[in-house]
Chains A and B, each alone.
Chain A
Amino acid sequence: MNLLRRIIVIFAVACASRIAVAEDAAHFRQPVAIVVIDDDRIVTANQRSGSLTLIDQSRKDVVAEFSVERSLSDVVRVPGQPLLLVTDQANHQLIVIQITGDLLVPQQRLTVSPYPMSVRVSADGNRAFVASLWSRTITVVDLKSLDKAEQAFVRTIPLSFAPKEQLYLDSAKKLIVADAFGSKLAVLDPDTGIVDSVRELPAHSIRQLRLHPTKPRLMMSHQMLSRLAHTTFDDVHWGGLMVNCLRSLPLADVLNPKADLLKQSQLDYLGGPEQGAGDPAGFVITSTGLIAVALSGTDEIAVDDGNHLYAKRIKTGSRPTAMVLDTTGSRAFVVNTLSDSVTIIDIQHRTSLATISLGATPDLTAADRGERLFHSASLSHDRWFSCASCHVDGHSNGLLNDNFTDESFGTAKRVLSLKGVGDTAPYAWSGRFTTLAEQIQHSVKSTMQGDELSEEQTGDLEVYLRTLPPAPPTGAMDQSASERGARLFVRLDCNRCHTQPAYTSARTADVKLKDEQGLSKFNPPSLRGVSQNGPYFHDGRAETLSDVFSKFQHQLESKLTDDEVRDLVAYLNSL
């Protein structure tokens, strides 16, 4: 990097007490979002270091890294202003950043609903929309009223699912919101707070939403998991179990709540037998309709040849996720989340132009290595999927998978969350595996049809999984109802199977709900974060927690009153 420029920056920073430049010492950044400021400069938002990295991409150099605290999940540019909006998922804040020359200066911090994961801005720069994951809300912010704190919040809109990716349609003034884990797509009116529609797609892990540049279509990257396929070599090999896709839906159908979303859906398959395209994530579309999509499980970008065939692959760093077009529209930048770098590609010529390192990183610990394995599609046969494909971000896509963990096929069961898994032995619906190591090895070999893991790899994955905390509760609760619910929980003997502190136990219990082979004895799943784990029971037959009691009378000798159900659910929602 230009030494003089660097000195100037550091000097300027040293003078401005509110800006913290990250140390040069080796540290992990994990860039997860990227934004273009101008022809030369781009900014990445870094999840692990809680910093923003300013890059001069024409010089292929890092200008500076700014510590913003504490864990950044997204960054966007406010149109028409030298401002960035950044979300911090650890401090639960929306942060306004001023761009002054080569400095990124935090101006303001607004506390928003917990776990903000993405932010979008209207084209006129007046409104921002923040999607908060575990608290399941969309917060609408008036950017013009930021200095009058309370007025800055226009409204919060609750959702029935955990949101992550969003797309704001300026022409229609609607916000399209995708499920962070599973299959839901919502359309809301941020001006009124009305949720126009929540619909399901045959999809999960919807990682990016974009408008097609020339056609009135909504594009999305996602995966599809078949409930009917088995986790056998052949079903995996021939793309029967999991496929990686790019889908396009007519915008008119998306915006019309009564329309059948799928009627005019077009699907592109990424990869195929012998060349899986595990975990499609961010993608870009050029003005001529060429698409380049990051395959975060295979460390590649797949580029369309113009015929909906994505044969050409460009190698990137480790776990490419977010992607954005440059100002010319012919090149793209992608962040490699696990190798702390940015790759620049030429889309038309389908080549990589350069890789820019965000800075020195330390040696990998076991947990770091485990994290890489968890997100790598190389653990599955032909790289069709990674652990993270079903256990999205360590949680669950909420769908059914027919694997051989229960020692039968034809008995699909809900994918279990791995959040907090360290404390919830034994593992699997039947409690078959007493140690996490055994479960890990079985999952990779049998469910993923991958090669047998070495002891070191198993150990690394285990260390990583043990770092995953339980999912936070949705937080929707009435305190007194929750207290009554807690007493009910004890009175009804729920804690016999769902025993504190992890709300699980080592036993199996007959819940009188059978799978297709007649198995009805299951190891009680942990209830920590249970509000995030719908639908419920081994086959997801209970849509909501209320259904568990009112529809299925789960382990109840007599029916509960509506009030009792409400109180019990309030308590469970608080775990």
Chain B
Amino acid sequence: MRASNWSGLAILAIAAMATLQCGPVLANDEESTKPTIVLDHELPSHLAAVTWSLFETIDQHHISPPSRETLMTAVANAAYQGDRKHVQVAAAKLLACQSQAEFISAFVDLWQLSHSKVRPANSYLSLLTTSMASRVSIVPAAEYVVQEQLQNNRYVGLGVTVGNDHGPNISFATIVPGGAADRGGLVNGETVLEVDGHDTTNVPLGEVISKWLRGPKGTQVTLKLASRENLAAREVILTRSVVRIDSVRGRNGSSVSQGNFRDQPSVPIGYLEVGIKGSTLQELRDAEIRMRADGIRVLILDFRFGDSSSIFHHARLVADGLLDGGPMWSWQDRSGEWHVEVADRECLFRDIPLVIMVNQHSGSLHTAVAAALQDAGRATIVGVKPEEAVVVLNSYPFANGEYYATLPSAKLVRGRTDRSWPLIPDHPTEDAAAAAVLKTAADRFAAKGVSPTSPSVPNLFYIRRGVESGSSSVSALFPANLQEVEVLTRLGVRSLTRVSPSGNIQSREVENETARKIAMQLLENVYKQDQEINRSVPE
């Protein structure tokens, strides 16, 4: 599984929390955050106070804070759950408020008007942030603690990813190697019937996780597991411990310690998937030792996935670790001050040329690191232009520490002042991907013997345009007429992606192939340099 998947699934578990009724939020750490208990009838004024505090935090820290209109419209939208009829009027009323007290009062009225029943706080808050469209996200404090643990690779738990696809009870979809569950002999897919004596049948996933599964390091939990193939139902006692989740992996998601770096055994080109976590720099150091022992001369780094649970500070340490001095980037804070960040001269994979793969899934932080390496001439970038607008996100507690808001706190400017966003790959693969997809589609039609204009043929393509407009994508469904598609390509359509998953894999394969090709060229250069050095070494 790729590096992001562990944390991705764990985040899924956290996201499941969003469906919880507003109620006590359990902490899971020694430095526990106090649970906030809000009674139903207090809910609207509590939410109003939380909202006001959020706006103060945004005002204080957001690099380009949305206008008051936008904020109040977002509140109205979230309260009315998108019922546009009332939103404008409600927004105007909120906008007219001059003080926190007025706002709270107006909010409570609004809430009463807009609902016939109490709505969970979490769905209001998530609608609020979505409506603001300012890259603000909110988590309850206890979840923030877990996020921080994941970011710093010190997640405390049983070392499992949890799902409930297989019936009324939860199951452990995957067991993290080395975690408590792994040590306790559990395997992927175990169904959990009881946790500490609590029956999990039909209990919402989020509740099972936050109420029963989570707990401080060193504490125990008793699980009753369902029977499977050759094993009867059984009880196990596990001790919650720190679960290390690799952020750097070799080929096919293998652990670095397995040493599976090479695509072809005889070719000294290595490959690493790189996430961005607190432990990434250390993991890269370990990987370097093993790769040098393996004789790797050129390295492909795969940055083709998101970094939703990553933080800027770790991107900074990773970029610094991969750069041999020089400016990494600059960032501008709220007061307008510019801060230039310069890498030191300690450099991982020194004298090993780097090829970095990016694509439309590359997160903001991966893009920033790739750009810093491109600007320093330290790496060649291959792939599809990442569309993420790079921002520096930071998290701030608000509402007396009950929640944390993550928002853009600084603008990031590239190390080379003649360049800006988006990151343009040195070897773009979009056109190659488009050509590959077109060819496959053509072959498919031919094989099926189906006329492209028949109504029974599904629309195969959606076409993504460039990002100059600022929006993430403009999609259009085109009829399955290959000639029309070819015309569009000639008119400058940038990329062509098939909607089906196999189309995505196809683009990825083109990226892989291109990276390999570039890496081979770099390897030739390395060999040439070796020869020159050998010739010039004195006796």
Contacts and interface: CB of A to CB of B under 8 A. Distances in A.
A273 B317 CA distance: 16
A199 to B, nearest CB: 11
Contacts of A269: 285, 289
A234 B154 contact: yes
B281 A238 contact: yes
Nearest to B316: A228
B337 A228 contact: no
Contact of A307 (B279, B282, B293): B293
Contact of A202 (B313, B317, B339, B346): B346
A235 B278 contact: yes
Q: How large is the interface on A (under 10, 10 to 19, 20 to 34, 35 or more residues)?
A: 20 to 34
Interface residues of B, number: 28
Contacts of B335: 518
Interface string B337-352: 1010101111100110
A574 interface: no
Interface in B317-349: 317, 320, 324, 335, 337, 339, 341, 343-347
Nearest to B338: A516
Nearest to A309: B289
Contact of B351 (A227, A263, A518): A263
A233 to B, nearest CB: 8
B343 to A, nearest CB: 8
Contacts of A235: 278, 317
A308 B351 CA distance: 18
A226 B317 CA distance: 9
B313 A230 contact: yes
A229 interface: yes
Contacts of B341: 228
Interface string A222-246: 0010111110001101111000000
A262 B345 contact: yes
Nearest to A267: B346
A262 B153 CA distance: 31
A327 interface: no
Contacts of B152: 234, 237-238
Output the residue of B278, B286, B343 with the most chain A CB within 10 A: B278
B347 A227 contact: no
A306 B22 CA distance: 58
A239 B286 CA distance: 12
B344 A240 contact: no
B153 A308 contact: no
B270 to A, nearest CB: 17
Interface in A526-545: none
A227 B317 contact: no
A328 interface: no
Q: Dominant SS at the A interface?
A: loop
Nearest to B313: A230
B320 A239 contact: no
B346 A239 contact: no
B344 A227 contact: yes
Nearest to A241: B317
Contact of A239 (B153, B285, B293): B285
Nearest to A247: B346
Interface string A198-217: 00011000000000000000
Contacts of B285: 239, 269
A125 interface: no
Contacts of A111: none
Contacts of A265: 350
A237 B153 CA distance: 10
A277 to B, nearest CB: 13
Nearest to A261: B345
A516 B350 contact: no
A32 to B, nearest CB: 29
A272 interface: yes
B352 to A, nearest CB: 12
Interface in B45-103: none
Contacts of A454: none
Contact of B289 (A224, A229, A240, A308): A308
A516 B410 CA distance: 13
Given A410-B339, A516-B337, A238 B282 contact: yes
A265 B324 CA distance: 12
Contact of B317 (A229, A237, A263, A307): A229
A45 B346 CA distance: 35
A410 B282 CA distance: 21
Contact of A264 (B320, B339, B346, B351): B351
B347 A262 contact: yes
A15 B350 CA distance: 63
Contacts of B344: 202, 226-228
Contacts of A518: 335, 337
A311 to B, nearest CB: 12
A308 B278 CA distance: 24
A17 B278 CA distance: 65
Contacts of B343: 228
Nearest to B286: A272
Contacts of A272: 282, 286
Interface string A173-207: 00000000000000000000000000001100000
B246 to A, nearest CB: 13
Nearest to B350: A265
A238 B286 CA distance: 12
A204 B344 CA distance: 13
A227 B339 CA distance: 14
B320 A238 contact: no
B346 A224 contact: yes
A39 to B, nearest CB: 35
Contacts of A238: 152-153, 278-279, 281-282
A56 B351 CA distance: 48
B337 A240 contact: no
A239 B152 CA distance: 12
Contacts of A267: 346
Nearest to A409: B313
A28 B279 CA distance: 43
A202 B289 contact: no
Contacts of B279: 238, 273
Interface in A251-297: 262-265, 267, 269, 272-273
Given A228-B343, A516-B337, 14 more contacts: A202-B345, A226-B344, A228-B344, A234-B278, A237-B278, A238-B279, A238-B281, A240-B278, A263-B350, A263-B351, A269-B285, A272-B282, A308-B289, A516-B339
29 contacts: A202-B345, A224-B346, A226-B320, A234-B152, A237-B152, A237-B278, A238-B278, A238-B279, A238-B281, A238-B282, A239-B281, A240-B278, A240-B281, A240-B282, A240-B317, A262-B324, A262-B345, A262-B347, A262-B350, A264-B351, A265-B350, A267-B346, A272-B282, A273-B279, A307-B289, A308-B292, A516-B337, A518-B335, A518-B337
Interface of B: 152-154, 278-279, 281-282, 285-286, 289, 292-293, 313, 316-317, 320, 324, 335, 337, 339, 341, 343-347, 350-351
Interface of A: 201-202, 224, 226-230, 234-235, 237-240, 262-265, 267, 269, 272-273, 307-309, 410, 516, 518
- 7 smallest CB-CB distances across A and B, nearest first, come from A234-B152, A202-B346, A234-B278, A238-B282, A202-B345, A238-B279, A239-B282
